[in-house]
Chains A and B, each alone.
Chain A
Amino acid sequence: MTPFATPRHAIDPVVDLSIGVDTSEARRASTWLGEAGSARGIPAEPLWRLDLCVTEALANVIAHGGAGTGSSTIRLRLDVRRGASGGEASVTVSDAGIKYDPLTAPLKARPRTLADAEPGGQGLTMLRKFSDALDYAYSEGRNHLTIRVRWDQDKAAP
C-alpha cells in the first residue's frame, strides 16, 4: 500500500465508456452501466429505468444513425450525484450519426387494435416515460443525449 493509493470509498462519480456501433456492444454498455451504477449507489429501480433508456437510445443510434456511425464509436458518460435525501444519475450518449433529437421527434399515434399496430415507435415512448429528464444538443458533428433519473432515498429499496 503506497501513500498515494486511492482510498476505496473515493469512487469517481463520473465514469466513461466507448463502444462500437452494434447490439453486442450495446449489451456491453448495459453490463457496464449495471456494475458502475450499483457501485455508485444507484438503487435498483432508477438503475433499471436508466438501463432501459440507454438501451433504447443506443438501439436508435444503431438502427437509424446512418453511415456516419459505422466507423465511429458511441461514447457514454455516467454521472452519479447523491445527497442526503436522494440522488440523480445521468448518462450522456454521444454519437456521430445523423442529427436526431428524440425530444422533438414526433411520437407515433397509439394503435387501438392489434390489426392497426405497426412495429416500431415504442423506443421513443419508453425513453420519454422512463426518464425523469432528457436533454439534447448537437455539436461538433455529434448528437449528445443526456438521460436523467432521480430517486428519493426514503422510497428507494435498499
Chain B
Amino acid sequence: MAITYEDVSESFRRIALSGRLDGRGTGEIAVKFAALSTAAKHRVVVDLTGINFLASIGIRALLSSAKALQQNGGRMVLFVGGNPAVTKTLEATGIDALIPMFADAAEAEKAALA
C-alpha cells in the first residue's frame, strides 16, 4: 500500500491511495490516512484510481474519516476515474450515496470545494 498527499491550498488536500485495501493493506495506511484526511485541511479529495481491490475494511476507513471530517465542518469526495473494481464496490455497498464519488478529477475537485 502507498499513500501520498499534496496540499493544493491552505484548506484543500489531495490524498492518493494505491494498492490493495484489504485487511493488511488498510492496516498499513490507516493511521496515516486518518491523520492526513482529518487534519486542519477541510476539503479533501481521495484519489482511489490506484486501488486494485477494495474490501469492507478499506470502506470502513474511508467512512470513518469522511464522517470525522464532516463533523469538523469539512468534506471528503472520492475520485475513482475509470476504476471498475472500486466503482462497483462503492456502488454495491451504497457508499457512493454517502461520500460523493466522481470519475472525473475536475468534477471531484469542484465538488470538494463547493
Binding site for B on A (CB under 8 A): 23-24, 26-27, 30, 48, 51-52, 55-56, 59, 62, 110-115, 117, 119-120, 122-123, 125-126, 129-130
Contacts and interface: CB of A to CB of B under 8 A. Distances in A.
A119 B92 CA distance: 16
Contact of A56 (B56, B70, B97): B56
A126 B56 contact: yes
Contacts, number: 73
- Tell me the dominant secondary structure on chain B's binding face: helix
Give the one of B55, B70, B97 with max A CB within 10 A.
B55
Nearest to A24: B24
Nearest to B69: A114
B53 interface: yes
Given A26-B22, A30-B22, A110-B94, A115 B57 contact: no
Interface stretch (B2-10, B35-43, B58-66): B58-66
Name A's interface SS.
helix
Among B64, B97, B99, which residue has the most Cβ atoms of chain A within 10 A? B97
A117 B67 contact: yes
Interface of B: 20, 22-25, 27, 53, 55-57, 59-60, 63-64, 66-67, 70-71, 85, 89, 92-95, 97-99
A110 B59 CA distance: 14
Nearest to A26: B23
B57 A59 contact: yes
Given A26-B23, A112-B97, A120-B56, 9 more contacts: A23-B22, A27-B24, A48-B85, A52-B53, A52-B89, A55-B53, A56-B55, A115-B71, A117-B67
